[in-house]
Amino acid sequence: MKFPVLMVMAALLCAAIAAEPGPPAGMKAIQGGSYLPLFLKDAKPRPVAAFHLDERPVTNGEFLEFVRTWSQWQRSKVPRLFADSGYLLNWAGDLELGPRAAANTPVTGVSWFAARAYLQSHGKRLPSVDEWEYAGRADTRSADASKDPAFTKQLLEWYSRPASAVLPAADAAAPDFNGIRGLHGVTWEWVNDFNAAMDTGEGRSGGSLERDLYCAGGAASAPNKTDYAAFMRYALRTSLRASFTMSSLSFRGAWSAGTVVPARVLSNQPVPAPRSLYHTAGAWTNQQGETMALRQLGTHWQVLCMGYTSCQYACPRITADMRTIERSLSPAAAERTRFTFVSIDPDRDTPAHLKSHAANSHLEHWDFLTGDSGSVLELAAVLDVKYEKIEEDFAHSNTIVVLNPAGEIVIRLEGLGAAPAAAILAIEQQSPAPAKP
Amino acid sequence: MKQEPTPKRIPLLILPALAFILGVVSCDNQLSGPLPAVQSHDQLVREVTDRVMARNTQPVPALPAAAGGGKTPGTRFITSAADPDAPLQGEEVAILTDPPLVPPAITRKHPSRVKVRLEVKELEKQMTDGTTYTYWTFGGTVPGKFIRVRQNDEVEFTLANHPDSKMPHNIDLHAVTGQGGGAAASMTAPGHESVFSFKALNPGLFIYHCATAPVGMHIGNGMYGLIFVEPREGLPAVDKEFYVCQGDFYTKGKFGEPGLQPFDMEKALHEQPDYVVFNGSVGAIAGDNALTAKTGETVRLFMGNGGPNLSSSFHVIGEIFDNVYPEGGDTVNHNVQTTMIPAGGSAIVDFKLEVPGTYILVDHAIFRAFNKGAIGMLKVTGNEDKLVYSGKTNDLIYQAEGSDIQVMPLVASTTPKAGNKAERIAAGKTVYARVCIACHQAEGQGVPMAFPPLAASDFLNADADRAIHTVLNGMTGEVTVNGVKFNSVMPKLDLSDDDVSNVLSYVYSSFGNKGTEVLPDQVKAVRALPPVPVNRDAH
């Protein structure tokens, strides 16, 4: 069922931008170094390689040019999977900014998917949490003002105020030590791995999710409990999903040599369901070494999870839960259902490794998929799966989803040993997807 | 006592299914009938599935004994397993009120499905005259809207976060049995909303608050309120109910410093608030905003304390709480003066109003009331009842040492000796200001009905020695001055001969008196005489 013909489609989804020798214009160099993240107690300072960061956030005018070219990202055309109903809502129309979105002010109301697509089209990427937090320590006089009470107090005052209706120009703020403008004080900004933040942000689990939700995540807690500004940024990121938009959330680009990701944008081929996972453009390889897109599974029901094969704790249990579902299905239901394990560890889970893992687990008839880190991140984002590498292990959500043939999430099981009856029922009865997943 | 967390509805129904699928021998009695003998796993699953489906279409019986312990003496709320609640019926939208108002009592005899929708808004509002603060609110007020549901209601809770909010927010309702009280389930980015549901198992008055990191700052900015889970049988009827929450606030500027005051993290960490207030700001329930009631009415206060740091010693000046439900639970205490309300806790108090007046609500950790704003008012109008409270009926001098004349110990005068009349008068003026002015007043006019005048005083001018004697020995009993009778006490003044001579010379030379100079030797001579009662007539 993996028709090579369909692989052409994956190619259609890709439009590679040639890697440039240097950073695009308008970016400032940030020296490499290390910083102490808010979470991870007793962690050594985390290294941050040198990178470039946009001097200012992306503006409405710039984003307008992007959606002119890539019409899939216009307000009326974007699939709900990729942006909620607040997407570019302060614009006057698909291609009209209007009075509430001056061309030179930061573009807000943009989802993570849209921000990522914009930056890919410019040969850039979103900064990582580490990069953003590292650069965000600078005030006007030094690269690291994080220990200066006056600096943190100033941040706190800004965070405490409601979002103002009209934003100042993107370059209005004074440049900081690195020459960057408006990292703080105007809007929040998207980061690439926002959904890696392991804190629930709800202050109820000591800064970490329970071990029964996230394996290896139990060690997470904050070394500096008075960095309220950082707590707020982490809490905000935790409250987000990749399709969310906010009137006070914008973005800017990052760049570092050798990490330019080819722009992968939406296919113009219609996907019937607006929330279908098959809108995603990720490229995957299974344990047979065959390249495939998720939508190639589109004639089947699908039980899917994300994990990594060297996981000793949670992933074997997730697999066991999926096996329970498989064994409980009637022959007819089993016939229309596929089981898919997507690796979050592309470095170690090579197709060959996946093949031996499948054989050892007697699960050769399942699909074990591996892909580039961008594809993994995108799929995790649409599934709302959080994961973060901690030394040799990953902390990650224990989530099993049931997709209907249209690629919509019908049932979502959370946690280890989640009662699978709902999943079995949904497949047996071919339940419709809920209106609002 | 809280029971084991109850899973959400669907998992509750499918738990038995899981047990069967995994081959666990279940003694669960929620699926009726014995297990059939089954040949294959598939058949077993299908059997379970059918039963789950069948159950899904039947009315859901109330959870028996879900609310915990049996009825014990001294408890108010019926939570006994022997008295199961009526089945769940109907659906309604909860009435929410802004403080100090309270939604009407719930009189349903059965639990219902109840929808609650709260919207988080970040707003700049007045803290006190000339001072504003950016409050984070549940519904636009501090405390947030009052939520009233009935025990065993199934509450579908929607938390919306206004698009203009800067922060993500969530809600932890202490009335929820389940992880985080709803916190993780309700984590909501600006411009979004979250829905979760819970069953109100335990009756009582509960705080709700935001639990987003950094939690203290979210609570410290005003994100708390009360949810009352009405016990099945309700509370005794009263005439008026009010909603009041205490909270402490930490601002960059000191109390009363004008302008928009940002949150001060250092002060919050050290638990040194600038403001301790009822209902979010100074005077929120005082003056024109005071709570009002009439004599003869019974008033119930649903009191909460959002904190974030301080516990409240809640007291109403001039009233005694007839009933207190300490900590918002189901025991009742009677005849209470001050009840302790912990941060993140509550109390229900009620009292009958017998007499009119303005009753002051305070945190009796009294510097908070006097200096930080913890004052509210309950203005009660109606007829006086002099038997209950007379008001002031007499104004007398307190004579701690019986009716004997008291000695006023005075600080030794440091005035240099006066060499002439002018110096004597000048020195006497300071003595007068220190010793005499409180009763005889600045212009010697005295106080009608209490203290006789020294101005143009016939009594004074008639006899200087008598004046000296009076100053040295004091005077008690009836005296007639300028034709008016006084019956009061003048204490014995412990003054030197020089001071007496000076002050009397000053008095005689002032206020329209005849200008007599009193010399120290004259005072000394009078002092040598026995302190006999003086002639009380003016002439």
Q: What is the DSSP string of B303-338?
A: EEEEESS--EEEEEET--EEEEEGGGSSB-EEEESE
Where is pLDDT greater, at B487 or B6? B487
Cβ separation B214–A244 shorter than 8 A: no
pLDDT at B401: 53
Say if A425 is an interface residue toward chain B (CB within 8 Å): yes
Residue A320 at interface with chain B, using a CB cutoff of 8 Å: no
**Average pLDDT value for residue range B458-466:** 92
Backbone angles phi, psi at B514, to 5 degrees: -90, 0
The whole-number pLDDT of residue B396 equals 66
For the whole model, what pTM was predicted? 0.69
Give A248's contacts in chain B (Cβ within 8 Å): 166, 190
Q: Could you give the CA distance from residue B66 to residue A213 in angstroms, rounded to a whole number? A: 27
pLDDT band at A21 (very low <50, low <70, confident <90, very high): low
Digit-coded pLDDT (tens) for A149-201: 888 888 888 877 777 667 889 998 899 999 999 999 889 999 998 876 454 33
Give chain B's length: 539
Most confident of A326-335, B393-402, B477-486: A326-335
The H or E element that residue B205 is part of is: strand B204-209
Q: State pLDDT tens for residues B159-179.
A: 999 988 989 999 999 999 988
Q: What is the pLDDT of residue A147?
A: 83
* pLDDT single digits (tens) B342-371: 999 999 999 999 999 999 999 999 999 888
Task: Give the pair of three-digit tokens for residue A241.
Answer: 């999903």
- Determine whether the interchain pair A161/B41 forms a contact, defined as Cβ–Cβ distance below 8 Å: no
Q: Rounded to an integer, what distance in angstroms lies between the CA atom of residue A150 and that of residue A140?
A: 12
> How far, in Å, CA of B536 to CA of B539, rounded?
9
Q: Which of residues 302-321 of B touch A (CB under 8 A)?
A: none
Query: Reduced to 3 states, what is the DSSP secondary structure of residue A231?
Result: helix
- Out of A163, A202, A330, whose CB is closest to B165? A163
The letter for the amino acid at A73 is W
SS3 state at A356? helix
Pick from B47, B87, B40, B39: nearest CA to B63: B87
The answer to whether B35 faces chain A, any CB pair under 8 Å, is no
What does the buried/exposed string (b/e) look like for B190-210 if buried means 16 or more CB atoms within 10 Å of the residue's CB? bbbbbebbbbbbbbbbbbbbb
Residues of chain A contacting B48 with CB distance shorter than 8 Å: 421
Alpha-helical (H) ranges within B390-480 are 421-431, 437-440, 458-462, 464-473
Provide the token pair at B100.
């100090």
Tens digits of residue pLDDT in B376-388 = 999 999 988 888 8
One-letter amino acid at B475 equals M
Is the minimum CB–CB distance between B159 and chain A shorter than 8 Å? no
Element counts in chain A: helices (H) and strands (E): 11, 18
Q: Please write the tens of the pLDDT for every residue from B297-346.
A: 999 999 999 999 999 999 999 999 999 999 999 999 999 999 999 999 99
Sequence-ordered alpha helix ranges (H) in B91-148: none
A with B: how many residue pairs have Cβ under 8 Å apart?
A: 145
Provide ipTM, 2 decimals. 0.74
Beta strands in B187-327 (DSSP E): 192-199, 204-209, 224-230, 240-249, 259-260, 275-278, 291-294, 298-307, 312-317, 321-325
Lowest mean pLDDT among A31-40, B10-19, B221-230, B269-278: B10-19
Q: Which stretch of DSSP H or E encloses residue A66?
A: helix A60-69
Q: Which residue of chain A comes nearest to B262, CA vs CA?
A: A157
Q: Residue B249 has what pLDDT?
A: 97
CA A27 to chain centre: 23
Beta bridge partners of A96: A93
Q: Does B17 touch chain A (CB under 8 A)?
A: yes
Judge whether B269 is closer than 8 Å to chain A, CB to CB: yes
- Which of B363, B254, B256 has the alpha carbon at shortest distance from B303? B363
Q: What angle do CA A173, A177, A183 make, to 5 degrees?
A: 45
In this predicted model, what pLDDT tens digit does every residue of B7-49 receive, in sequence order? 333 333 333 333 333 333 333 333 333 333 434 445 544 544 4
CA distance A244 to A382: 11
Query: What's the CA gap between B50 and B44, in Å, rounded?
Result: 10
Q: Do B167 and A238 touch (CB under 8 A)?
A: no
Structure tokens at B21: 């699928």
Contact B214 A245 (CB under 8 A): no
Q: What is the token pair recorded at B514?
A: 């005849």
Identify which of A34, A250, A66, A261 has the alpha carbon closest to the alpha carbon of residue A133: A34
The yes-or-no verdict on residue A340 having pLDDT over 50 is yes
CB contact under 8 A, B221 and A160: yes
Contact A239 B187 (CB under 8 A): yes
CA-nearest residue to B218 within chain A is: A160
- Of the ranges A222-226, A250-254, B462-466, which is most confident? A250-254
Hey, is the C-beta of B263 within 8 angstroms of any chain A C-beta?
A: yes
Instruction: Indicate the residue of A157, A331, A421 with minimum beta-carbon distance to B14.
Output: A421
Would the CA dihedral through A345, A346, A349, A355 be positive or negative?
Answer: positive
Is B22 within 8 Å of A324 when comparing Cβ atoms?
yes
Beta pairing partners, B169 = B188
CA distance A259 to A238: 26
A21: DSSP letter: S
Burial class (CB within 10 angstroms; exposed 0-12, middle 13-18, buried 19+) of B539: exposed
Q: Could you say which of B163, B211, B265 has the minimum Cβ distance to residue A204?
A: B211
**Do A200 and B187 count as a contact with CB atoms less than 8 A apart?**
yes
Q: Does A177 touch chain B (CB under 8 A)?
A: no
Q: Is the CB of residue A420 less than 8 Å away from at least one CB of chain B?
A: yes
Per residue in B221-257, pLDDT (tens digit) is 999 999 999 999 999 999 999 999 999 999 999 998 8
Question: How do beta strands B291-294 and B375-381 pair?
Answer: parallel
The predicted structure's pLDDT at residue A43: 61
